[in-house]
Homo-oligomer: A and B are copies of this chain.
Amino acid sequence: MIKNKFFIKINSIDNVGSVIEPGGIKAGTKISDDIMTIEYIPYAHKISLKSFKKGEEIIRYGETIGYAREIIPKGSWISEDKVELPQAPKLDELPVATKVPEPLPPLEGYTFLGYRNADGSVGTKNILGIMTSVQCVEGVLNVAVERIRQELLPKYPNVDGVMPINHNYGCGVAIDAPEAKIPIRTLRNIATHPNFGGELLLVSLGCEKLIPNKYLSDVEEENIIVLQKEHGFEMMVDIIIKKAQQCLERLNKRTREVCPASDLIVGLQCGGSDAFSGVTANPAVGYAADLLVRAGATVLFSEVTEVRDGVHHLAPRVINQEVGQKLKKEIAWYDNYLNRGGVDRNANPTPGNKAGGLANVVEKSLGSIAKSGSTAIVDVLSPGEKAKKKGLIFAATPASDFVCGTCQLASGITLQIFTTGRGTPYGLSMIPVIKVSSNTELAKRWNDLIDIDAGEIVTGEATIEDVGWELFKLILKIASGKKKAWADYWGIKNALCLFNPAPIT
């Protein structure tokens, strides 16, 4: 990283820099010995460090993020309209498992206080989850849950909360469509999440397509409440409350115990990214991911459209050909899915990403995959599939924050790290979410929402390693219930959002 007062350059071969001067750089400013700005360049945006001919490669992160659409003089603002999108890496030409990283030295002795379950999994919260098999029941369930919160929860102080697992699936959907397996698998795996402690109530309507015993077969018959069998609304609410109380009795007996850090399953995600996300927050998270992997934990990174253009960096890191084939299959599936809908992976970047200095999905991707750190990729998961291995895993989910979060929950994450540059007040009630800002301005403005500021990496007050270690230690503390992430402190809860690429009927 090369840095002066005005800009940083990430890789020595980069021919653009990113503005770090908070108010941007005025036209006519001498920013280095031989570069004078010829126009205003906003904060976080790219400045040309050389003169570009039309079609010449624009390089950031040591990679071609695009081609100059016109002549770009030295000292210009390289706004997104000047950058031609490159082709995505071709999947059939990807080198697979060619540079599998050697394991890093193990990190021993790190522990947290978790809730150990009968099946060996370990939770970070102690929640009563009430699954639903169809959206039709949620109106009744929500009334019951409100009463459980007010009337029952105060009697069970060891229980962190009650959560209706509401969703828009279950009926009015093409349940036999080839892709219906995605939302069904997601729901089935959420139902058995470690934070529900092996207890699970299920509220069913009785005529829905998502028949509980067929699709959610882990639920015992006595824990399924079928509304169509009940005699009216009041009896429905009563039976839900009664069954909930039986679960709460058992959940309340659970206590936290010392567990090795290897029992953690941590999900990584970013949302509202800016041009510093790939320089500060994501590399710091990558460092923490390496620490977690060294401690034996499972770490999931995701967001297919945000790794698509960096997949040539990932494929060599997968542990073997089999995992490599799975990676290619998932990426190809998504290419096809987008194509079917008349778009491509460049539908990903948001107006906020662009305002934050990200010219296109290539630049966004190269920053995004920094979250994955440097270890070998031991597995690839389809959306909503349960993680079964220790180490770094690519969970091939959409990049949409709420959809990615829901898929990662199904994969079993018990804590999530969420990096943001523009800022999003995101929270999942099932698990703690630690929010990492890519810039100090956001961390200050949202001081009661951002848990860790990685912006100091730009200002030089902290290194990637510093922030990585700080985050690793905060993960253990928050997973132990010793401290609350801001989202939990305020009770910020985003709804679950299933990924259903199959038709509705």
Contacts and interface: CB of A to CB of B under 8 A. Distances in A.
Interface of A: 135-140, 142-143, 166, 168, 171-179, 205-209, 211, 227-228, 231-234, 236, 271-272, 305, 337-338, 340-343, 345, 347-348, 350-353, 355-356, 398-404, 422-427, 445-449, 486-487, 490-495, 497, 499, 501-505
Nearest to A425: B140
Interface secondary structure of A, over-half rule: loop
Contacts of A227: 423, 425
Contacts of A426: 136, 139
A135 B401 CA distance: 9
Given A207-B272, A207-B351, A448-B233, A228 B422 contact: yes
A25 B172 CA distance: 31
Contact of A400 (B172, B399, B402, B404): B172
A143 B177 contact: no
Nearest to A503: B341
A356 B207 CA distance: 9
24 contacts: A135-B402, A136-B424, A139-B487, A139-B491, A140-B492, A171-B350, A172-B398, A172-B399, A172-B404, A179-B341, A206-B352, A207-B356, A207-B422, A207-B423, A208-B351, A209-B350, A228-B272, A234-B448, A340-B503, A347-B503, A347-B505, A399-B505, A400-B504, A403-B504
Contacts of A211: 351
Given A338-B503, A503-B343, A492 B143 contact: yes
Contacts of A398: 172, 504-505
A485 B212 CA distance: 30
Q: Which 10 A-B pairs have the closest CB atoms?
A: A207-B352, A172-B400, A139-B492, A341-B503, A174-B347, A207-B422, A174-B343, A232-B448, A168-B497, A348-B505
A383 to B, nearest CB: 11
Given A272-B207, A341-B503, A503-B343, A171 B400 contact: yes
Given A136-B402, A399-B505, 6 more contacts: A177-B341, A177-B343, A232-B446, A232-B449, A340-B503, A342-B502
B228 A423 contact: yes
Interface centre among A168, A338, A504 (most CB of B within 10 A): A504
Given A143-B491, A207-B353, A208-B350, A402 B168 contact: yes
Nearest to A492: B139
A340 B139 CA distance: 32
A139 B502 CA distance: 27
B205 A272 contact: yes
Contacts of A356: 207
A69 to B, nearest CB: 19
A489 to B, nearest CB: 9
B140 A233 contact: no
Given A177-B341, A422-B228, A423-B228, A403 B172 contact: yes
Contacts of A497: 135, 168
A332 to B, nearest CB: 15
A168 B205 CA distance: 23
B137 A422 contact: no
Contacts of A494: 135-136, 138-139
A139 B493 contact: yes
Contacts of A231: 445-446
Contacts of A486: 233
A173 to B, nearest CB: 7
